[in-house]
Homo-oligomer: A and B are copies of this chain.
Amino acid sequence: MVEYVFKTMRQIVDFVTKAMELIKREQVERMIEILVETYKSNGRSKILVMGAGRSGLVGRAFAMRLHHLGYNVYVLGDTIVPRIGERDVVIAISGSGSTKLIVTAAEAAKKVGAKVIAITSYPDSPLGRLADVVVEIPGRTKTKREEEDYFARQILGIHEPLAPLGTLFEDTAMIFLDGVAVELMHRLGKTEEDLRAMHANIEL
């Protein structure tokens, strides 16, 4: 009875646990430093978060936390998207690093001088190559079939992954970015009360 629900949850949790060892601390540190610096601009630097499909949702969840932390943050696809310039930071999330519209948008951001942080499994992808900072997050990806099981097999061992398509990347990225939010709380001296005070009080 409902055994696959819990087998899958187990596998996702194991995957995230092993991913934690593989994520490169110096990549994370560079990302955090850029975000701390952006905060210190007092709203003059904006952050634009972008991702397609479920990666886009993971990006939105992180964008909400950045807003709660006091950032001037926007999401590609929302109604209000500001003009981006050289003071600004783009965070692009794509497991494969080759989602066409995200690569196109990230290229446009580079062209106007914005810094691009890529969250991807593939540093050597089009997105990874154009980014100023890459944070490698393990995951299977849905587009590169040959390579896709490389990480999954390395991490899960002999097990066939249960979670389909980009699930492992997306869930790992979600939890990783929730970790980044807590790191930022500490670096910026923010308490949970500070975040609560920024939380929407009229919600849909």
User: Chain A: residues with CB nearer than 8 A to chain B?
Assistant: 1-10, 12-13, 16-17, 20, 23, 25, 28-29, 32, 48, 52-54, 56-58, 60-61, 63-65, 67-68, 73-84, 99-101, 104-105, 108-109, 112, 142, 162-165, 167, 170-171, 174-176, 178-183, 185-186, 192, 195-204
Contact = CB atoms under 8 A, between A and B. Distances in A.
A165 B79 contact: no
A78 B57 CA distance: 11
Nearest to A112: B201
Closest 6 CB pairs between A and B?
A5-B179, A52-B203, A8-B179, A8-B182, A4-B183, A81-B200
Contacts of A65: 164
A181 to B, nearest CB: 7
